């Protein structure tokens, strides 16, 4: 698995835990990093930057997801899908060195591994619309 995909998966783990337990993202991230054994993975800094970025821009990210998720409220989305979308939207809007198709494809690929059969198509649609809006 490529390093950035591993980083996205780790970011998903943290965001999923915080979301599921209704906990502070920064505190969840701090505890997650503390639990990691040394040497820590090389991709960890990117994972941390994704979690911190999502946390910093959560209101705007969720607003975009909610407005482009036709027929879905953000609360009704599966927790995995909601947080994959958050990571991808953060990358679409705020990470200059990740191309839009890469951010979308990575979310879709992780959804194939970790979520429902409908999730990849669902995320591809939402993220494609947000990418069109953002650029």
Extents of the domains making up the chain:
3-134
C-alpha span between 135 and 121 (Å, rounded): 21
Exposure letters 101-126 (e unless 16+ CB within 10 A, then b):
eebbbbbbbbbeeebeeebbebbbeb
| Secondary structure, 3-state, 46-97 | HHHHHHHHHHHCHHHHHHHHHHHCCCCCHHHCCHHHHHHHHHHHHHHHHCCC
**Total-model pTM:** 0.96
| Res 134 pLDDT > 90 | no
Nearest alpha-carbon partner for 107 in 59, 61, 56, 57:
61
Could you read off the pLDDT of 87-98 as tens digits, one per residue? 999 999 999 999
| Res 1 pLDDT > 80 | no
CATH fold of 3-134 reads N-utilizing Substance Protein B Homolog; Chain A (1.10.940)
């Amino acid at each position: 698995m490529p390093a950035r995909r591993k980083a996205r998966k780790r970011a998903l783990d943290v965001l999923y835990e915080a979301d599921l337990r209704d906990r502070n993202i920064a505190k969840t991230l701090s505890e997650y990093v503390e639990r990691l054994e040394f040497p820590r993975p090389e991709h960890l800094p990117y994972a941390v930057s994704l979690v911190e970025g999502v946390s910093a821009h959560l209101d705007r990210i969720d607003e975009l997801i909610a407005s482009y998720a036709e027929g879905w409220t953000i609360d009704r989305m599966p927790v995995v899908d909601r947080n994959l979308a958050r990571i991808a939207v953060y990358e679409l809007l705020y990470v200059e060195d990740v191309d839009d198709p890469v951010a979308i494809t990575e979310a879709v690929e992780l959804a194939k591994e970790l979520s429902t059969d409908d999730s990849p198509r669902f995320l591809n649609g939402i993220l494609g619309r947000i990418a069109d809006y953002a650029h």
